[in-house]
Amino acid sequence: MSHQKIQLKPLTRENFSAFGDVIDVCDSNHKIAINDGLADRHHNLATVDVNDQNGHAIISIIDTQETQLPLKVSVMERHPIGSQAFMPIGDSPYIVLVSPAGEFNPSKLCGFLAQPNQGINYAKGTWHHACISLYQSNQFLVVDRGGDGANCDFITVPESINITIESAEVNEEVNVDFNVESAATV
C-alpha cells in the first residue's frame, strides 16, 4: 500500500467548482430586493439539474449523526441523472469528501471543510461521501431528484484502499492509503 495525503481545503466556490456549486451568502451574490424592500434574495446560487428521464425536483430533510474521527471511508456514492444539494439547518461544520465524475478514482479525492452557513450542490455524477457532521448531529435540507430511473450508485471501497479522515481542521490532512494496482479496478 502506498500513502497519499489530502489536505482539507476551505469550501469556496473556486475550490469546489469541479464538483458542483457552493451555496452561501456573500457580497458577490446577485441580490434582488423583494417584498417591498423588506428582504434581499440571493438569486440563482445553484442549478438544480433533475430533468433527465422525466425527473422532478424534491425537497427533503435528513438527520445526520455526529461523526467520530478518525473515520474509515468504506462507501462512496454518485447520482448519475440528477444533481443533489445539501444545506445545513444546524450550526455544526461538516466535511465534504468528493471525487470527479466518471470511474471512481481514490487518487482524485478532495476534502473540504464546510461551515454551518455553507451548502453544496453536487453536479450529476460527482462521487461523494455521505455528510460527515462534526461535533454534533445535524440536519440538512436536501434538494434532489425524484422520479423514474436509477439515480444513486454506490461503490464499496475495497479493503486494499484505506481512506481515513483523521481530523477536521482546514489544512489538516485526510489520510488516504491505497494500492495503485487495485485502485484502477475499483
Name residue, grid cell 430533510: 61
Residue extents of the structural domains in the chain: 2-183
- The Cα 172–Cα 7 span in angstroms is 6
Question: What Rg value do the Cα atoms of the chain yield, rounded?
Answer: 17
pLDDT digits (tens, 9 = 90+) for 25-43: 888 999 999 999 999 999 9
Strand (E) positions, 102-165? 110-114, 119-122, 127-128, 132-133, 138-146, 153-156, 161-165
- The Cα 136–Cα 172 span in angstroms is 20
Fold of 2-183: Jelly Rolls (2.60.120)
pLDDT digits (tens, 9 = 90+) for 52-103: 999 999 999 999 999 888 888 889 999 999 999 999 998 889 999 999 999 9
